[in-house]
Amino acid sequence: MPLTLFEKLWSAHEIRDLGDGQSLILIDRVFLHERTGAIALRNMAESGRAVRDPSRVFCTMDHIVDTHPGRGDETLMPGGQNFIRATREAAQAEGLHLFDIGHPLQGIMHVISPELGIALPGLTVVCPDSHSCTLGGIGALAWGIGSTDAEHAMVTGTLRVRRPRNMRVRFEGQRPKDVTAKDMVLHLIRQIGSDGGAGHVVEYAGRAVADLDVEARLTLCNMAVEYSAFTALIAPDAKTIEYALGRPFSPPPQHEATAVEHWRGLRSDPKARFDRELVIDCGTIQPTVTWGTSPQHSVPIGSTVPDPADEPDAGRRAAMKRALSYMGLEAGKPMEAIEIDAAFIGSCTNARLSDLRAAAEYLRGRSVSPDVTAVCVPGSTSVKRAAEKEGLDQVFREAGFEWRESGCSMCFYAGGETFGPGKRIVSSTNRNFEGRQGPGTRTHLASPLTVAASACEGRLARAAAE
């Protein structure tokens, strides 16, 4: 029987069909961070249990760490240092791989996981973070879990999981030069809605996906949770294989040939059946930005704020009105007339080296508007180091951006830092919910390229392809 990529990965990891729509699934690797890791490790220790295989469990400091230069354990989040110290002590006691503050490989979990070869094609990876779906960009079956499931996965190496259905989204056609993976996924979410992937594993395919580099594929998969998908996948290809080899936790040289042979088989069979399919012509996509308080509230940047009166569904119409009220916008206003107070480049969505290169290329010879506060936070210490080696930090600084240490930073307010109530931010992050970047903040999601252009113009702006 022809199988989808997801079906192959599920079958390879299914220990037992439990007969109620759920299966017991083998978990290859678990990744923790200091916000939930401290809780999971503490509860596990208090119950008298231990990590079954410490070599398969990894931990980083990313969610609540301070990203200002010269940082230590102190954070802007009240009590944050207690989480950091508790996680450190517990991880060291269990013998886990720990990427602590000051470690040369520290970074945001979903950035360093593929960067270090912790996530690899064909592996199951779970993390107590909803954006674990990012790792599907290299063909890993990865999903977010809670701290209780994290305990179970560490102690038993397994999880009980309800089997999702299959969905395929094909991005066909030629992608315009100034359209990025971020624009592609925002366009998709706008089309299918915030619940359009509920109960499904989504496989991205098509010419436009094949044309993306691996880091862009990670961005595409990162936001699958924003339309309620269980996770997302992209079949490994030659780009993936080249990316995955030779990293600290990748297969050693003597096992590379076996790994590559396995990875090449990780693809949907030609006649495999999907429960749902969707085809999007990438040639119709434009640089996209959000106007409201959900990633589904997005439009091409050259258009206007939509009118709730045009929405036939009463529930969605009410949600649009609330979003406009929170965002302080009126229907019909040109998106490119919306002035901003701040610009943020960072997060597990768009803070990899390729993202910083794209933004820096635009910023060369340009300056941030004097009315805009601009911040760039690299996704990992390795990314920061590589960017500085290329001189990208100087480009950002000379343009007027702050240059920070790695961490989640102002992707969300749990780190304790915000641009301020009522401030309007254009951000390369993944969520624009009410208060996501702090009480009363108004967030417009966009690609790093659009963020850079907007920072310089002082308003939402398109970085026209040259």
408-452 pLDDT, tens digit per residue, is 999 999 878 999 999 999 999 999 999 999 999 999 999 999 999
What value, to the nearest 5°, has the Cα angle with vertex 420 and ends 455 and 411? 65
Please state the rounded mean pLDDT for residues 338-349: 98
pLDDT greater than 60 at residue 465: no
Q: Report the percent of the chain where pLDDT is more than 90.
A: 97
Establish how many alpha carbons lie within 13 A of residue 254's alpha carbon, considering only the half-sphere containing its beta carbon: 0
- Across the chain, mean pLDDT equals 97
User: What's the confidence (pLDDT) of residue 406?
Assistant: 98
Question: What's the pLDDT tens digit per position in 207-250?
Answer: 999 999 999 999 999 999 999 999 999 999 999 999 999 999 99
Question: What's the pLDDT tens digit per position in 168-179?
Answer: 999 999 999 999
User: What's the confidence (pLDDT) of residue 464?
Assistant: 73
pLDDT greater than 90 at residue 97: yes
Pick from 170, 160, 447: nearest CA to 301:
447
Q: Report the percent of the chain where pLDDT is more than 70.
A: 100
User: What's the confidence (pLDDT) of residue 281?
Assistant: 97
Please state the rounded mean pLDDT for residues 454-458: 98
Integer CA distances (angstroms), 49 to 44, 46, 60, in order: 5, 8, 22
Superfamily of domain 165-236+260-284 in CATH is Aconitase, Domain 2 (3.40.1060.10)
- To the question of pTM greater than 0.95 for the whole model, the response is yes
What's 288-457's CATH class? alpha beta
Please state the rounded mean pLDDT for residues 394-406: 98
User: What's the confidence (pLDDT) of residue 416?
Assistant: 87
Please state the rounded mean pLDDT for residues 51-55: 97
pLDDT greater than 80 at residue 191: yes
pLDDT greater than 60 at residue 291: yes
Question: What's the pLDDT tens digit per position in 101-135?
Answer: 999 999 999 999 999 999 999 999 999 999 999 99
Banded model confidence at residue 466, pLDDT cuts 50, 70, 90: very low
Question: What's the pLDDT tens digit per position in 24-35?
Answer: 999 999 999 998
* CATH topology agreement for domains 165-236+260-284 and 288-457: no
**Exposed, middle or buried by CB within 10 Å (0-12, 13-18, 19+), for 79?**
exposed
Spans of all domains in the chain: 18-162, 165-236+260-284, 288-457
Question: What's the pLDDT tens digit per position in 260-271?
Answer: 999 999 999 999
pLDDT greater than 90 at residue 321: yes
Residues 6+ apart with CB under 8 A from 327: 291, 292, 293, 442
The architecture of the domain spanning 18-162 is: 2-Layer Sandwich (3.30)
- Residue 177 φ/ψ, nearest 5 degrees: -60, -35
Residues 6+ apart with CB under 8 A from 444: 289, 290, 291, 338, 340, 424, 425, 426, 427, 432, 460
Please state the rounded mean pLDDT for residues 183-208: 98
